Structure 1
């Protein structure tokens, strides 16, 4: 999945940079401590400023910050590129404490929901190989659509719609959750994301079959 791949790249690079900075600071700190303990007492420096050293320090920090902001923005743009062809539309509504998935492109405006109690979990059915545009909102309080295995999460706000497009490259089923504390049953606000073949999706969407969502 595109989102999972891009997230992996960003996480790996930022982890490497954070590790290098941490080790560099740790090495300088260790050197200063060992040198101070091994040597004779050192008189305090009479210099109040070191402008050249401070300039280098600020320049390095600024370069790291600019790079990380630019890199993250570029990857975010890659992740949310517009689809080259018309997308399958699904309207997602979070509520206390479950989800509703509506398919306005279906002949009878197909809708899937549940109670999120026990095995009564709604299933978000999408086709493989096609861009799927999710229009995400909330009925009451802030929720957050999260599919951990796909490394993707987006908040759902009342009276506001967040939109993102994803494309599933293989069939499968993944557990989704709410990642924003929204009340005492937040822990049980789960759903299934199921990717099926385009043919099976069309049959389910327009024929009213239950197979894809089972």
Structure 2
């Protein structure tokens, strides 16, 4: 998946930078300790400032910071690039303690929901190869939609709508959950996201027209 690849690239680079900085600081600390234990101590400098040295490490830190911010912003833009065609829309609502998924583009304005009890987990159905835009909100308290395998997580707030888009390039089914503690049955608030071929998605979307609700 594109978003998982972008997340992996950004995480790997930032982890490498953080690891390099950590090892550099650790090496400097080890060198200072070894110098101390060996009894070799240099004479104290009479200079109160070293402007060139200070300017050097400030410049290095600033360059790292600018690079990381610019790189992350660019990758975020690549991950959420605008689709050429109008994206499909799915309205996602979190509530204590489950989810509902609305399909306003279906003839019957279909809604898929459940109670997240005893395996009654709702399934969010999406087509492969098409951009799907989620409109995420909450009925009561703050929830957070999280699909670990796809590296996607976004908070759901009451009286507010967050939007994000994804494009899944292969069929599959992945488990999602709420990652924001939201009360007594927070731990049961799981769901499935299922990617199916476009033709199968269209048939599912237009089946049982007039019922208003559907199971996936």
* Bin of the TM-score, shorter chain as denominator length: over 0.9
**Which string of whole-angstrom CA distances, capped at 9 and with x for unpartnered residues, describes residues 143-201 of structure 1?**
11110001111111111111111111111100001111111211111000000111111
What residue number does 1:183 align with? Answer: 183
Task: For 2:203 and 2:75, locate their aligned partners in 1 and report how far apart those are by CA, in whole Å.
Answer: 35
Gaps of 5+ in 1: none
Distance 1:213 1:9, change over 3 A: farther
| Deviation >3 Å, runs of 4+ | 40-46
* Mapping of residues 144-155 of structure 1, within 5 Å: 144-155=144-155
Task: For 1:151 and 1:51, locate their aligned partners in 2 and report how far apart those are by CA, in whole Å.
Answer: 44
Task: For 1:58 and 1:177, locate their aligned partners in 2 and report how far apart those are by CA, in whole Å.
Answer: 42
Please state how far the C-alpha of 1:43 moved relative to its aligned partner: 4.8
Please state how far the C-alpha of 1:126 moved relative to its aligned partner: 0.3
Task: For 1:18 and 1:204, locate their aligned partners in 2 and report how far apart those are by CA, in whole Å.
Answer: 47
Farther-moved stretch of structure 1 (32-41 vs 78-87): 32-41
Please provide the CA RMSD for this pair. Answer: 1.5
Task: For 1:14 and 1:59, locate their aligned partners in 2 and report how far apart those are by CA, in whole Å.
Answer: 19
Contact 1:125 1:213 (C-alpha < 8 Å) held by counterparts: no
Task: For 1:195 and 1:40, locate their aligned partners in 2 and report how far apart those are by CA, in whole Å.
Answer: 66
- Alignment of 1:5 with 2:23, yes or no, is no
Gaps of 5+ in 2: none
- TM-score, reference length from structure 1: 0.94
Task: For 1:158 and 1:184, locate their aligned partners in 2 and report how far apart those are by CA, in whole Å.
Answer: 18
Paired residue secondary structure (2:72): helix
Please state how far the C-alpha of 1:131 moved relative to its aligned partner: 0.8
Paired residue secondary structure (1:137): strand
What residue number does 1:201 align with? Answer: 201
- TM-score, reference length from structure 2: 0.94
Please state how far the C-alpha of 1:44 moved relative to its aligned partner: 3.9
What residue number does 2:166 align with? Answer: 166
Paired residue secondary structure (2:169): coil
